[in-house]
Amino acid sequence: MTIDPGYYRTLAKDDPSLFTLTVELRSFVGERKWRAGFPPRQLVSGLVLKAAGVLATIYDADSVSADLAGDRDIAEGLADVLMYVIRLADIAGVDLVHEVWHRLEANAAQGKAAQRKAGSLGPAWAPDQMSTVDTLDNAEGRAGN
């Protein structure tokens, strides 16, 4: 039984899961016989370069709170980064969904430990609600001086 190559593309548009993207990237690479031409270190280099392009686009924004929604350069750069990550994970046999859940759990545990340790700073310690100067003053015990 032969499957029409367009089948996966149709499936990918209907099911944007990581699995489907992985299958589509395998097909894309296979059609072009790129496996031998792009060893992992070249994929990592491409990933870093694309991520640097996203950084440059964001870094050049006029404001810290620049509206990035709808920026095609960022959207395309992030899509390229994701494709490199998915391809590397596929080659390395990494289950990205499992690993992301594992990292979220580990980061949550680290965050709770850090919160317990920082608990002595009191409820006023909320960097997202204060200016940097206020935050530094509170951290150094100079608030209200």
pTM for this predicted structure: 0.64
Q: Please state, in angstroms and rounded to a whole number, the distance separating the CA atoms of residues 36 and 29.
A: 10
DSSP labels, 93-104: T--HHHHHHHHH
The answer to the question of residue 48 being in a domain is no
Domain that holds residue 103: 96-145
pLDDT of 132 higher than 90: no
CB 6 within 8 A of CB 28: no
The answer to the question of residue 67 being in a domain is no
3-state DSSP assignment of residue 143: coil
| DSSP for residue 61 | S
Q: Structural domain tally of the chain?
A: 1
The answer to the question of residue 91 being in a domain is no
Which of the four pLDDT bands, split at 50, 70 and 90, describes residue 35? low
Residue 29 in tokens: 């690479």
Segment 37-68, tens digit of pLDDT: 578 899 999 999 999 999 998 887 766 666 77
